[in-house]
């Protein structure tokens, strides 16, 4: 009996030791790399061990290689830079998916090319089909000028057209689209938008801004459910190809159903946090939904609102008029009407514990929303709100300090400065430009900086944003030392804005944003070390591999 007992104890001990050994074995090992963890206590390591969908351990090659078992997948990184998976803090994700197969006018530099591409699109689509998207930029035309409906009417007689400027706050409609919408010389501009009209004839030019765009867009047929699912699939694929493992979608409530369908089919390749329009706060109240909630893959992050438009469209709201349009101060967005409605919605959001992300570009727009936020914070007391201002583009010095004092997150899109820097001073003058995209000043005032692309306004690739934030060079090549160079930030600061800070903004910093044991194994591998190369070389860097939840979802083959 004693022998049986001893034998049983030995067997149990062996099984326990085997189980312990298996527990230490990794499913995946990445070694021989230069791994930036994002953890200030252990910022650099050589290797990672992954078990399941989480990071199991980080450390030296020797430490991590010990965790290899017979079934462990092992990658020799050959010195590649490894980062936490990029998190894009501001996209229009589903629209971006559609844009990948639609008309592209962003790089057009002449009227002739503009018209030719639209004519080509009309021929491809066939009569009766709407021509949309485009993402044109009139500042790139030589000479810069706003397009008119007369440019394209001849080649689009059977196709209604509503093509957006790349910032989404201005669009060009042809005569057929205006007719469908019932817009003519007598149609008044709606609050928060403008139907531009020829000063001599009074006829619409075809240019619509902000709320006026809705007068036409409401007539565009809704894409089918499967079309939307396909667009979401394309967007996810585009994200992981660019090393983006999580995105914040400033979209429509209906997008949730599309992403949920991808998740149901096990085809959701990146994590999505969706922000609903603030005008739909009633939905949250009726369902008594509180705070950010959802799964590891799909979450509702909060509410997105607008105060103004954009600089390029001339609808960003300023205290002083535009330098090139002395009568224009910009426009207050329709979501600010009737007066006081934005404050009411923010109070309701605060009661529900819902984060808000409010679009503000001009200095007056930023001041207005900060006034509202500060009033609510003072009255309702301190709280972990993680409220955001989207873009925070043109700020007064006192409002930069106020952002830090109130703990408001600045959600910025660095690549915009590389574009806007080519022409912004013509619009607002050199003095106001000094606090445009003021990233260094924001960080110095203890503001948490979150970075994103605003895709499709700018490329989804975070490396383009990091390059812009670090160099502040402009795409016209006229600012080799940087446009307003005193506002440059470091590579590490820019990466934090695309990783741990973006995770913080969505209340997920304990699960992602850095490479630490217990966090999701969302990882981006680059083909060169952007910490050590010349900042100008960052644009030449490519994504080598992308891992989401411990699985390799992308590998570059070229």
Confidence of residue 8 (pLDDT cuts 50, 70, 90): low
Confidence of residue 289 (pLDDT cuts 50, 70, 90): confident
> What is the predicted pLDDT for the residue at 15?
47
DSSP code, position 149? H
Residue 271 has pLDDT above 70, yes or no: yes
Mean pLDDT on 146-166:
96
> What is the predicted pLDDT for the residue at 340?
97
> What is the predicted pLDDT for the residue at 291?
76
Residue 323 has pLDDT above 90, yes or no: yes
> What is the predicted pLDDT for the residue at 473?
98
> What is the predicted pLDDT for the residue at 23?
52
Mean pLDDT on 461-472:
98
> What is the predicted pLDDT for the residue at 365?
98
Contact yes or no for 121/131 (Cβ under 8 A): yes
> CA-CA distance, 216 to 219, in Å (whole number)?
6
Please report which helix (H) or strand (E) contains residue 397, including its range: helix 397-406
Residue 61 tokens, joined: 């090659």
Residue reference for tokens 């806007």? 420
Is 482 strand, coil or helix? coil
- Please report, for residues 179, 213, 426, 440, 473, the alpha-carbon distance to residue 485 in angstroms, rounded to integers and kept in the order given: 48, 36, 18, 10, 9
> What is the predicted pLDDT for the residue at 481?
97
Contact yes or no for 494/502 (Cβ under 8 A): no
Mean pLDDT on 274-278:
97
CA atoms within 13 A on the CB side of 465: 35
* Domains contained in the chain, CATH given: 103-217 (3.10.310.70)
Residue 408 tokens, joined: 């408001």
pLDDT, tens only, 92-107: 999 999 999 889 998 9
Which ranges constitute the DSSP H helices of 220-277?
A: 225-241, 255-264
> What is the predicted pLDDT for the residue at 21?
47
Residue 114 has pLDDT above 80, yes or no: yes
pLDDT, tens only, 211-221: 999 999 999 99
Is 359 strand, coil or helix? strand
Give the rounded percent of residues in the chain with a pLDDT score beyond 70.
96
Handedness of CA 520, 524, 530, 535 (dihedral sign): negative
Confidence of residue 18 (pLDDT cuts 50, 70, 90): very low
Helix axes 363-380, 341-352, angle to 10 degrees: 50
Mean pLDDT on 320-339:
96
- More confident of the two residues 73 and 21: 73
Residue 370 has pLDDT above 80, yes or no: yes
- Please report, for residues 448, 500, 505, 531, the alpha-carbon distance to residue 492 in angstroms, rounded to integers and kept in the order given: 14, 11, 18, 8
Mean pLDDT on 163-185:
95
> CA-CA distance, 174 to 126, in Å (whole number)?
16
Average pLDDT of the chain, as a whole number = 94
Residue of 497, 461, 528 lying closest to 239 (CA atoms): 461
């Amino acid at each position: 009996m004693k022998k049986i007992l001893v034998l049983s104890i030995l067997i149990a001990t062996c099984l326990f030791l085997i189980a312990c050994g298996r527990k230490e074995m990794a499913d995946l090992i990445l070694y021989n790399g230069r791994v930036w963890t994002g953890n200030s206590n252990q910022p650099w390591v050589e290797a990672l061990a992954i078990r399941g969908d989480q990071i199991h351990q980080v450390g030296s090659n020797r430490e991590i290689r010990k965790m290899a078992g017979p079934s462990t997948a092992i990658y020799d990184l050959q010195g590649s830079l490894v980062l936490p998976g990029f998190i894009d803090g501001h996209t229009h994700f589903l629209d971006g998916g559609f844009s990948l197969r639609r008309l592209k006018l962003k790089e057009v530099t002449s009227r002739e090319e503009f018209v030719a591409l639209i004519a080509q699109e009309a021929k491809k689509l066939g009569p009766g089909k709407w021509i949309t998207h485009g993402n044109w930029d009139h500042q790139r035309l030589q000479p810069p000028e706003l397009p008119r409906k007369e440019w394209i009417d001849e080649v689009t007689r059977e196709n209604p057209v509503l093509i957006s400027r790349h910032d989404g706050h201005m669009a060009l409609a042809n005569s057929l689209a205006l007719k469908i919408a019932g817009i003519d010389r007598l149609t008044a501009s709606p609050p928060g938008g403008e139907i531009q009209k020829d000063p001599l004839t009074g006829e619409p030019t075809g240019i619509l801004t902000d709320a006026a765009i809705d007068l036409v867009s409401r007539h565009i047929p809704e894409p089918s459910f499967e079309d939307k699912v396909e667009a979401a699939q394309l967007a996810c694929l585009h994200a992981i190809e660019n090393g983006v493992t999580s995105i914040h979608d400033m979209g429509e409530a209906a997008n949730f159903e599309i992403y949920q369908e991808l998740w149901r089919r096990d085809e959701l390749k990146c994590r999505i946090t969706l922000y609903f329009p603030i005008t739909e706060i009633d939905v949250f109240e009726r369902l008594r939904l509180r705070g950010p909630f959802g799964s590891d893959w799909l979450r509702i992050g909060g509410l997105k609102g607008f105060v103004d438009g954009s600089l390029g469209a001339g609808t960003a709201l300023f205290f002083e008029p535009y330098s090139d349009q002395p009568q224009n101060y910009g426009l207050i967005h329709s979501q600010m009407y009737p007066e006081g409605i934005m404050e009411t919605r923010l109070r309701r959001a605060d009661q529900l514990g819902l984060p808000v992300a409010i679009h503000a570009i001009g200095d007056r727009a930023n001041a207005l929303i900060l006034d509202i936020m500060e009033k609510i914070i003072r009255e309702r007391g301190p709280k972990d709100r993680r409220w955001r201002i989207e873009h925070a583009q043109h700020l007064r010095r006192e409002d930069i300090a106020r952002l830090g004092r109130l703990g408001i997150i600045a959600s910025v899109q660095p690549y915009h400065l590389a574009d806007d820097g080519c022409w912004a001073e013509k619009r607002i003058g050199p003095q106001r430009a000094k606090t445009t995209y003021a990233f260094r000043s924001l960080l110095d005032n203890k503001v948490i900086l979150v970075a994103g692309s605003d895709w499709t306004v700018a490329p989804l690739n975070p490396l383009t944003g990091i390059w812009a934030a670090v160099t502040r060079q402009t795409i016209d090549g006229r600012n080799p030392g940087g446009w307003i160079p005193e506002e440059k930030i470091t590579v590490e600061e820019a990466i934090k804005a695309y990783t741990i800070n973006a995770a913080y903004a969505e209340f997920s910093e304990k699960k992602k944003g850095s490479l630490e044991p217990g966090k999701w194994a969302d990882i981006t591998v680059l083909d060169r070390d952007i910490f050590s190369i010349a900042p100008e070389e960052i644009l030449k860097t490519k994504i080598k591999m992308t891992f989401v939840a411990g699985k390799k979802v992308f590998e570059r083959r070229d």
